[in-house]
Every structure is written in structure tokens, then in C-alpha cells.
Structure 1
Amino acid sequence: MSKTIFLAGATGAIGQVLTPLLIENGWKVYGTTRSKDKITLLQELGAEPVVIDVYEAGRLKDILIEIKPDVVINQLTDLPYALNADEMPVALVRNARLRTDGTKNLVEAALSAGSKRIIAQSISFVYDEGPIPHLEEDPLLPLSHPVYGETAEGVRNLERQVLESGMEGIVLRYGLLYGPKTGFDAPIAPASVHVEAAAKAAEIAVIKGKTGIYNVAEADESLSCEKSIKAFDWNANWRVTQ
């Protein structure tokens, strides 16, 4: 039986942890990068490098049809290192487009390739005001929100496309990332998650998750992660060194 994964965003903070985890479990991982300079990094991680921009829809579709991955994982983001405040306003717009248009291209390519499951990175810190801890069915911020409205709309677009794709669609709403290669050594806000625990949730979702949305963050009063804990037997304290 084929065990092939197409991992978009394999050179990101989560992707660099997730790739070896998947390979250790017997998966062949095709990892993407937009830069030829990162081919060596992907090879060191054990992945088959794929140099592609997710906006190259036709070429992306051709690549996935050739690979025929069982599972497609979307870990793409386009944000500055350590969420640099000076760069964030422009980056939020760019990232919202990636979630909307990039996801569309990835979903269409996965469907053309006959993939059975798609897992996508989302975020758990754009819930609208309301009773806490927030559950997955709670509403997100409106588009009219002055700072994060476009971000929330991008999240809604991504999640809708994944859940309505016709594949087994799994959305992981990560907390704010901290840990290696994120620019943050410790939690920076409520609903944070260590990058290694975030990667572990994606690894488990590859074989164990059911279609739906899951909060993936450390326990606090703002957010409930009981759904992911029960479904994945996921532990926010998991680290690679365990």
C-alpha cells in the first residue's frame, strides 16, 4: 500500500519538525519550498524536494497528479519571523490571500490526484467575543474587525474549502507558536502552543483524525482543546526529546 504525503510548507517551523516524524512512521514525504536554496534542507530532513509556488496552479496540479499522494498537508504561512510588528500589516494581507487562493489551488490539485485526506493549518486566536473557553463551533471575528477582520475571513475561506473538499478534511486551529525557529522561546499570549506539539498533532491527524475542526493549544481559560485531546490522544506537553 502506498504511503505518500505531499507537505506544503515543509521548510517552515512546523514542517521541519513534522517531516522527520512522518518519515519515521514509514511515509514518503514530498516537501515543498519556493526557493532552490532550501533543497538541501529538505533532503537533510529526509523529504523529496519539490520547488513550487502554490500560486502556480497548473504546475501544482501536474506535480500532484504525478506523485498521487494519499494525504496532502497544508502548513503554508507567509508571516515575518517573530511576527515583526513593522512587517505584520502587509503580511496579514499576504497571509489571508495565501489561505484563500493558495488553499484553493492545493485542494483542486489534491482532488485531481485522487488524494483521500487533506490536513490544513489554521489558527485559534481569531474567535469573536463571547463566552469562554472557546469551542470549535464558536464564531470567528467579523470581516469588519479593524485589525484581524481580513485574517479571520482568510481562515473561514481556508476551513470551508478543506471541509467541503469531498476529501477527509481536517483543520487544526493552532495557538500562537513558540519554540525553535518561531522567534519565541516561551508562550507569548493565551492559547499558545509549542511548535513540536503542533507538529505532533498533524502527525497524528494523518491517520487518526476525523473530518472536522480542532483547537490545538495549551490549556487555559480562553480555549478548549478537549476535542483534539479526545480525538488524537494529543498532549500539549509533547516534545521531540521525549
Structure 2
Amino acid sequence: MKIFIAGAGGAVGRYLVPQLLAAGHTVVGSATSGSSAQRVAALGAEPVVMDGLNAESVRTAVLSAQPDVVVHQMTALSSMSGMRNFDKVFHTTNRLRTEGTDHLLAAAREAGVRRFIAQSYTGWPNARTGGPVKTETDPLDPSPIASSRKGLAAIQYVERVVPAAEGMVGIVLRYGGFYGPGNALAPGGEMWEQVKAHKIPLIGDAGGVFSFVHTEDAAGAVLAAIERGDAGVYNIVDDEPAAVSVWLPELARIIGAKPPMRVPAWLARPLAGGFVVRMMTQGRGSSNAKARRELGWTPTHPTWREGFAELAPAGPGAG
């Protein structure tokens, strides 16, 4: 099949393009500039420069490609700093999840696309009540921090319109927290280096639960969704949701950093912001049972434990 990847040069694209080519598919990948188009070409895809927020640019790129499947991987994140102003950091990504999704769906419909796969996110959007691990049928947070309301609304928009798309199978993949080469959570990445420098503390009871996924496994989920699965939303996470009190000290150990300090929530709130404090103390993880069952997807990095250790230059304690 011919696959059009909107945002092919991102963290998932570096794994997705080779996986698709190895599976016998033809790939056209969009980029936002000539330099990023060169990176897409180096992966083996046919590059096309496209502005995801310009309807005519999207229409021209998709109709020219005439794909069987469209994959929406467009985001605009260069840094995870400044999370006190979450919606400001995610402003363009929120637009790509709303306006960009609309442009891609319209172009895909006109091109006769059979399957449409879009990315979403799981973790902080989950409701902070009930058990520590949520499924796709559990509600999202009814009262998000004010600074993240637009971000949650954008996620809800994608998850509403894509599965309901007429004339095609619309699948939304809710990725867990990314780690892997080229990400913030990898050697040289922003979060990895902050843990190494002893700058990320345990906040309060550090009871917030996170679900992670290696970017290679996120790409594998896209490949699975191209080949099977009904319209709907799927959590793409590893097999071990874990509290911050568990995974952050283990990451520090793997890196070879000092154990994280602990600070009370009241002290962290004015420094880190309410969004970060809530995520670190009240967050809920996610189950991958539906993706395993209906997409036939299995993570090659079953848990973050061996995944983090694999990233360390010479094994645990040597980072």
C-alpha cells in the first residue's frame, strides 16, 4: 500500500518509515522545510514539503500522493520546558490536532483514502479518580488545570472526529510518554540530562502513575493499525504503568545520578506549576490490553525498566 505520513521527520517517523518500507509499503512523508525533507528522504521516503495548517498545501500534497492510508503524526514541540504554561507550549500542536486534522481528513476523503491514523496522548488527560490504570472506555479529566484546558480539548477533538470519519476507518493511537533516541528521555535529551544533574525531584508522595512507550514500539503500533483494527481509540503504552516514586529513582540509578530529592507539593507548586505537580502526584496510567487484543500489537520493549537501561551508554549506573 501507499502510505502518506504527515510529519514523517519526527520521533516516531525515524522508526516508522523503515518499518513500513520493510513491510513492503511505499511511503510519502511530509516535512515543514527543505532541511527536514532531506531527513525524510534519508529515511527512504519520498519527501514533500507541506504546511499542515494550510488547507490547500495539505490538499495538494495528499492528492498528489494518492495514498491508501494517511498517518497524522504532526506536532510542533521542540522543548518540554515551560510546562507552567502548558497551552502556550502546545499552542501550535493543539492547532495541528484540530485544524490540521480537519485539513488532512478533507484531503484524505477527496483522495479516497481507506484508513486514517492519528496520534493522541494518554497519561495526563486521564481522570484522576478511581484506580491507577485506565482503559479507553474510562473518562478523561473533567476538571483539568486551567493552563491545559485547550490541550485536552484538542486531544478530545482528534479522538471524536477521526473515528467518526465517513468513508474510511479512523483510528486514534494514544501514545504514552515517549522515550528513545532523539527524545527528551534519552542521553543528551532534556529530561535525561536534568535527572542526571539531580534537577527533577520527587514531588509530594510521587504517587502519580506514568505509562511509557519506546518510539520504536509507537511506530510498530502504527504499522499494526495500518494492517488491522476497527475504528476507535487505542492506548499505546508498555506493560508496566509505574508511579513516579518507582520509575524516577530507577532512572536516576540507571543514569548513575544521585537519588532524586523529595520536595513537598506546596513548595513545588509555585516553582513547577500546578500542571506538573498534579501529574507527578495524581496522574493515572493506561492499559494496553485493547491494542494487544485488537491490533495484535506487542511492545518489543515490554517495560520502561529494560528500555531505560538499554539507553544508558554502558548499562545501569554508567550514564
Q: Does TM, normalized by the shorter one, top 0.5? A: yes
Paired amino acid for 1:205: A
1:229–1:235: 8 Å Cα contact kept in structure 2? yes
134-143 or 37-46: which moved more? 134-143
Match of 1:80 in 2: 78
Paired amino acid for 1:141: D
Aligned length: 237
Match of 1:41 in 2: 39
Residue 235 (1) aligns with residue 295 (2): no
Offset at residue 13 of structure 1 (A): 0.4
Offset at residue 144 of structure 1 (A): 5.5
- d(CA) in 2 for partners of 1:155 and 1:142? 13
- d(CA) in 2 for partners of 1:26 and 1:143? 45
CA pair 148-89 structure 1, distance change in 2 beyond 3 A: closer
- d(CA) in 1 for partners of 2:86 and 2:134? 25
Offset at residue 40 of structure 1 (A): 1.9
Residue 135 (1) aligns with residue 135 (2): yes
- d(CA) in 1 for partners of 2:149 and 2:176? 18
Match of 1:120 in 2: 118
1:35-184 correspondence to structure 2 within 5 Å: 35-81=33-79, 83-85=80-82, 88-125=86-123, 126-132=125-131, 133-142=133-142, 145-166=145-166, 167-184=168-185
Greater radius of gyration (CA): 2
Offset at residue 41 of structure 1 (A): 1.4
Offset at residue 134 of structure 1 (A): 0.7
User: SS state of the match for residue 137, structure 1?
Assistant: coil
- d(CA) in 2 for partners of 1:121 and 1:238? 20
- d(CA) in 2 for partners of 1:147 and 1:64? 34
1:79–1:88: 8 Å Cα contact kept in structure 2? no
- Aligned counterpart in structure 2 of residue 217 of structure 1, from 226, 229, 237: 237
Offset at residue 238 of structure 1 (A): 4.3
CA pair 141-216 structure 1, distance change in 2 beyond 3 A: same
- d(CA) in 2 for partners of 1:30 and 1:208? 20
Paired amino acid for 2:26: K
Identity of aligned residues (%): 34
User: SS state of the match for residue 49, structure 1?
Assistant: strand
2:50–2:61: 8 Å Cα contact kept in structure 1? no
2:32–2:51: 8 Å Cα contact kept in structure 1? yes
User: SS state of the match for residue 13, structure 1?
Assistant: coil
Q: Which runs of 4+ in 1 moved over 6 A?
A: 186-189
Instruction: Report Cα offsets for 1:119-176 as digits up to 9, x if no partner.
Output: 0110011112222321102222247632322111000111112111111011100001
Offset at residue 43 of structure 1 (A): 1.4
- d(CA) in 2 for partners of 1:41 and 1:95? 21
Match of 1:6 in 2: 4
Paired amino acid for 2:48: V
Paired amino acid for 2:126: Y
Offset at residue 34 of structure 1 (A): 0.5
Match of 1:190 in 2: 210
148-157 or 136-145: which moved more? 136-145
Q: Which blocks of at least 5 consecutive residues in structure 1 are unaligned?
A: none
Offset at residue 78 of structure 1 (A): 1.2
Q: Which blocks of at least 5 consecutive residues in structure 2 are unaligned?
A: 193-208, 243-284, 303-309, 311-319
